[in-house]
């Protein structure tokens, strides 16, 4: 990656055959309120000891898949109509076009797809390159739709990722992984209906990074909270899906204790390569967790912009080392940027954050003179 920034475009993703589409929350990061409610209803039924009815569950799943298929087919037609009529029609319609389409996806019980459709409404007339960005996002939606329509031809892990991106509920599956988990970051995002808390954990023994999601009603903080910079010995069970990082917290063996070491990190070039590898497994991925080691915040070429560069990079002797990760535009407006700059003072830092096509968002930093003491930046 160069100092020009991290870019995502359709030609960077290996193009699959139409019947083997690929490209997840967010972490898997995209689980929604409907998934949470479905899981809670299932949990209440299990807790009540009510009899399970596999046949009824199978019929409900079939009916939902039929509705999702109808919604995806309709979306494919609308995308084709948009491209046939030209992108100028999207600029004229603005939010009206996409809100109507999103409502249809909600009716089809595909809330994840509805959320992605709504995001398209903010793109027209949002900058000089909006047609390019709109076309890219429409291509990714088309890829997701084709993935669902041909899900029986996909590998199981990729098919699970497609289901997750559409917003279909899933449960943690597989053997639990016991480790001492370092709490890398914790932050909340909120909309009119839901508060979502993301907690990033790093296994000190396994080296795996995992995401815990916790939900609360609008205006209320989620129940789960873990102190950043502490370690927790516990079991984590992963969710299905290619490249899925989300996990469920299981048994805890001891209360969190302050950590005395910082995690190992990557160079900026290695971080970029990791993002590319993750996109091969999940082309719809917005961001990946990355720990950077030995980086310094420096001004970017663009006025008011900043980037993280490797402290030991020497462009004169090794031009390939002259890489940098631009900070995301949203990061530039937060106080955490100035905490990061002051914390560094020109010296290398270890920084954890999320890397995506818009750049790097720093969440936590470890100063050189206090190896085990993190500073939150979000």
Spatial separation of the C-alpha atoms in residues 337 and 157, rounded to whole Å: 37
Say yes or no to pLDDT of 49 above 70.
Answer: no
Tell me what the mean pLDDT of segment 268-286 comes to: 93
Low-confidence winner among 21-30, 106-115, 271-280, 332-341 (lowest mean pLDDT) = 21-30
Tell me what the mean pLDDT of segment 27-55 comes to: 50
Tell me what the mean pLDDT of segment 89-101 comes to: 79
pLDDT digits (tens, 9 = 90+) for 107-138: 988 998 998 998 888 888 787 888 999 999 99
What is the pLDDT, as a whole number, of residue 174? 84
Q: What is the DSSP string of 231-263?
A: EEEEEEEEPSSTT--BEEEEEE-S--EE-SSPP
Spatial separation of the C-alpha atoms in residues 34 and 57, rounded to whole Å: 17
Of all residues in the chain, the percent with pLDDT exceeding 70 is: 83
pTM for the complete prediction? 0.81
Say yes or no to pLDDT of 314 above 90.
Answer: no
What is the pLDDT, as a whole number, of residue 30? 42
Low-confidence winner among 5-19, 136-150, 314-328 (lowest mean pLDDT) = 5-19
What is the pLDDT, as a whole number, of residue 13? 34
What is the pLDDT, as a whole number, of residue 219? 81
Tell me what the mean pLDDT of segment 245-252 comes to: 96
Predicted confidence band at 259 (pLDDT cuts at 50, 70, 90)?
A: very high
Share in percent of the chain as helix, strand, coil (round to 5): 40, 25, 35
Tell me what the mean pLDDT of segment 315-323 comes to: 63
Is residue 246 within 8 Å of 28, Cβ to Cβ?
Answer: yes
Tell me what the mean pLDDT of segment 160-180 comes to: 92
């Amino acid at each position: 990656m160069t100092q020009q920034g991290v870019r995502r475009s359709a030609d960077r993703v290996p193009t699959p055959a139409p019947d083997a589409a690929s490209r997840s929350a967010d972490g898997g990061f995209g689980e929604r309120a409907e998934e949470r409610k479905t899981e809670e209803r299932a949990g209440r039924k299990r807790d009540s000891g009510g009899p399970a009815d596999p046949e009824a569950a199978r019929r409900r799943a079939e009916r939902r898949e039929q509705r999702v298929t109808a919604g995806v087919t309709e979306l494919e037609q609308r995308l084709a109509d948009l491209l046939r009529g030209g992108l100028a029609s999207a600029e004229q319609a603005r939010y009206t076009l996409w809100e109507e389409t999103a409502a249809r996806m909600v009716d089809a019980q595909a809330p994840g797809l509805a959320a992605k459709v709504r995001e398209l409404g903010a793109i027209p007339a949002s900058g000089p390159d909006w047609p390019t960005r709109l076309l890219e996002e429409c291509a990714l939606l088309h890829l997701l739709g084709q993935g669902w329509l041909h899900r029986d031809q996909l590998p199981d892990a990729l098919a699970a990722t497609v289901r997750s991106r559409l917003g279909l509920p899933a449960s943690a599956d597989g053997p639990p992984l016991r480790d001492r988990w370092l709490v890398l970051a914790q932050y909340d995002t909120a909309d009119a209906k839901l508060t979502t808390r993301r907690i990033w954990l790093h296994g000190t023994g396994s080296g795996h990074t995992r995401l815990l999601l916790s939900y609360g009603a609008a205006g209320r903080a989620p129940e789960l909270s873990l102190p950043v910079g502490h370690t927790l010995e516990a079991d984590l069970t992963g969710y299905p899906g290619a490249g899925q990082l989300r996990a469920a917290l299981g048994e805890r063996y001891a209360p969190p204790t302050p950590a005395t070491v910082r995690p190992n990190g990557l160079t900026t070039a290695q971080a970029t390569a990791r993002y590319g590898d993750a996109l091969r497994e999940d082309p719809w991925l917005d961001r990946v967790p990355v720990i950077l080691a030995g980086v310094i915040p420096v001004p970017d070429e663009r006025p008011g912009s900043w980037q993280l560069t490797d402290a030991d990079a020497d462009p004169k002797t090794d031009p390939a080392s002259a890489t940098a990760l631009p900070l995301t535009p949203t990061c530039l407006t937060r106080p955490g940027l100035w905490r990061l700059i002051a914390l560094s003072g020109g010296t290398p830092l270890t920084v954890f954050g999320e890397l995506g096509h818009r750049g790097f968002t720093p969440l936590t930093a470890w100063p050189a003179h206090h190896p085990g003491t993190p500073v939150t930046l979000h």
